Amino acid sequence: MKRQDAWELLNEYTKKPNLIKHMLAVEAAMRAYARRFEKDEEKWGIVGLLHDFDYERYPDISPDGHPNAGACVLRERGWPEEIVRAVLSHATEVTGVERETLMEKTLYAVDDLTGLIVAVALVRPSKDIRDVRVKSVKKKWKDKRFAAGAHREMIEEGAQMIGVELWEHVGVVLEAMQGIAEELGLDGYLAQQV
Kindly calculate the radius of gyration of the chain based on its CA atoms and give it in whole angstroms. 16
The total number of structural domains that make up the chain: 1
What confidence tens digit (pLDDT) does each residue in 72-131 have? 999 999 999 999 999 999 999 999 999 999 999 999 999 999 999 999 999 999 999 999
What confidence tens digit (pLDDT) does each residue in 128-153 have? 999 999 999 999 999 989 998 899 99
Q: Which H helix or E strand runs over 1? A: none
Output the domain CATH number for residue 117: 1.10.3210
Let me know: does 29 contact 159? Beta carbons within 8 Å.
no
| Domain assignment of residue 70, given as a range | 3-192
What confidence tens digit (pLDDT) does each residue in 173-186 have? 999 999 999 999 99
In this predicted structure, what is the pLDDT of residue 188? 83
- The 3-state DSSP class for residue 128 equals strand
